[in-house]
Every structure is written in C-alpha cells, then in structure tokens.
Amino acid sequence: MRADRLVAALMLLQTRGRMTAAELAGELEVSVATARRDLEAMAAAGIPVYPQPGRGGGWALVGGARTDLSGLTATEAQALFLLAGPAAAVSGEAKAALRKLVGALPRTFRADAEAAARATVLDPAPWGEQERPRPAFVDALQSAVVRRHRVRLGYADGRGKRTERLVDPWGLVDKDDVWYLVGGTERGRRTFRVDRIVAAEPTGEAAERPDDFALAAAWDEIVAEVEERRSGTWATVTVEARYVGVLRNRFGRHFRVDADAGGEEEGEEAGRVRVQVAAPTALDVARQLAGWGGLLDVLEPPAVREELARIGAELVRGYGDAAVR
C-alpha cells in the first residue's frame, strides 16, 4: 500500500539524512519513478522533504536526519496523516503503521493528526469519469475538516448555476481522482463535487459535526443512493472475453458478470461472456453501447435494442451516402 511506502520513506530519510530516488527505490523494492512520485507527493503535501540537485545530491528532510517523529511540526504531522490515512481504511498494515505513528508523535499533535487521518476516504471505483486533475480547493478543505472550521462555498451545479452555501465540512472523498466534500448544511447532509467549487472562504466559526459521524459509513450510504438512481435500466449483453475488462472499466459499479450464465457460454457462443450493464434509462444504455458496433450483442431488454436500432437508423440516414462512396 502507498501509505506503508510513505511512512517507510520518511523513516529512511530521517535515519540516513539524504537519499537519491534510486536508492530509495532499491530499499522499498519499487521503480525509481514510483519512489520519485512518493517523494514529490510528500513535498507537495507540506512534509519538509526537498531535492538537492548535482553530484552528491538527493532527497533530504529540512533540518537534517532525525531519529523519530518528534521533530515534525503540527502542520507537517497533519500532512503525513492526510497522505497515509485513507489507505488505512482498506489496509490492516497501514492502520497498524498509523497507530505506531500516533504513539511517536508529541502528545499535543496527536488529536489533529488523528483527525487528518480520518479526513479523507479513497474510493477507487469509477463512475465512468475520465481522469481529472486535483481540484484547487482540496488542500484548503482538508485543513477546514481537520480544524473544524465552517466554510462559505461558491458552488456551481451541473447546469452552471452558481449559489453560495454555508457548510460544516465533515470529510473529503477521492473517488478515482474526482473529489467530493461531505458536509452539513441547514438542510442536512449534502455532498459537493470539489471541482465545481469556485470559492471556499473560511468564516472563522467553529463547525458542527455529529458525534457519531463516520466518513466511510456516510460515503457508503451516499454511493448506495447514487447507484440506485444511476442503475434504472440493466441490459444483458454478450461480448468476447478479451473485451470484458474494457467494458467493466467503462461501466464501473454498473457492470457485473451474469451469474445465471455461468461465465463463458458454449456452442456457437464459445469465447463470449454474458454480462450486465446499467444506466439511468434505456437510451443512456444504448448510447454507451452503440459505439461497440458488432463487438457485442444486446440480448435484453427490448427497450435497449429498440433504442440501438433507432440510433443505427439515424446514422445510416446521415452517413449512408458516405459508405457508398
């Protein structure tokens, strides 16, 4: 897990004082590119790791080598836990590492460090989105979550309409590079896409958060609600086995192998797999499958087949002459 590597990299730098990315890669048994990305991630998060170019250079901690975590400032400790914390939700080893790190911190830093570890959840399953850059307000919102500061958001909805919201920030979720803020408002719990936030202004007021709030559990509820809305129509499809992974990546949670079909089919359909995919409507399913052409066959429901036939007829009317030429 990446959290384990980040902790191990920090410990190595504290012990040795300076290391090249190649040396670190050898110690951690990863590629040089991976080691360099981890070092850059720590530096970007505020941990005092910096590169020194030239002969005899490498990566080092500001202030030289240290033997434990007691030399970290409060801000640096929070930065470390913001990086390592999300992986602890899915890795027992990472969770154990964080417990040890908490014990190594000065007592006055522990509460904020633990809050930072709980401030973000990772959800790797995509919702059919393309990869996106990290939104501008992630760091500011993480700080507001850790410090429990209420924020005033300028927010643009899916149609571009802008409104102003006063939000108690409870946590952030990184869903396959698409970030969401979960928070409390006068209308209850709400979820905001961070890339639609156009302004985030701390108010100086203390934020309120339910005593029993758990970010991971709240996100599970939110995902279940969204999935129910997004999977209004399921279609059964057969596709060559080699394309199953591509189809799975395209539909994310809205993809499943048809359990009743028992995997690969026999006879004339040998080498094909029966799967099911979903979208809000039959038209939405058809639009996503139309580009596959003859690579797949939609068995049901009839509504999706009818929409595909209609789309195909439209394409023939518009481009049929080009095919003749």
What are the backbone angles phi and psi of residue 127, rounded to the nearest 5°? Answer: -110, 40
pLDDT in tens, the chain (325 residues): 455 677 677 777 776 778 888 888 888 778 888 888 888 877 776 677 778 776 667 888 765 434 445 555 555 555 555 555 554 454 455 555 555 555 555 555 556 555 655 556 556 565 555 556 778 888 888 888 877 899 999 999 878 889 999 999 998 888 877 889 999 999 999 999 999 999 999 898 999 988 888 888 898 898 888 877 777 899 999 999 999 999 998 888 789 897 665 544 433 455 889 999 998 899 999 999 999 988 999 999 999 999 999 999 998 888 877 655 5
Same fold, 138-228 and 231-324: no
State whether residue 319 is helix, strand or coil.
Answer: helix
Say what the pLDDT of residue 59 is: 85
Domain limits, the chain? 2-76+95-107, 138-228, 231-324
Say what the pLDDT of residue 144 is: 86
Say what the pLDDT of residue 165 is: 92
Are 202 and 184 spatial neighbours (Cβ–Cβ below 8 Å)?
Answer: no
- CATH architecture label of 231-324: 2-Layer Sandwich (3.30)
The one-letter amino acid at 293: G
Q: For residue 12, how far is the Cα from the chain centroid? A: 28
> Which CATH code of 3.40.718.10, 1.10.287.1770, 1.10.10.10, 3.20.20.60 fits the domain covering 2-76+95-107?
1.10.10.10
**Per the confidence metrics, is the pTM higher than 0.95?**
no
Are 154 and 198 spatial neighbours (Cβ–Cβ below 8 Å)?
Answer: yes
Say what the pLDDT of residue 163 is: 92
In three state form, how does the secondary structure of 157-217 look?
A: CCCCCEEEEEEEEEEEEEECCEEEEEEEECCEEEEEEHHHEEEEEEEEEECCCCCCCCHHH
Total residue count of the chain as it appears in this document: 325
State whether residue 27 is helix, strand or coil.
Answer: helix
Say what the pLDDT of residue 231 is: 77
Q: DSSP for 14-35?
A: HHHSEE-HHHHHHHHTS-HHHH
Q: What is the number of other CB atoms lying within 10 angstroms of the CB of residue 70?
A: 11
Say what the pLDDT of residue 66 is: 46
Is the domain defined by 138-228 classed in CATH 1.10.510.10? Answer: no
Kindly compute the dihedral angle of the four CA atoms of residues 189, 194, 198, 200, in this order, to the nearest 10 degrees.
60
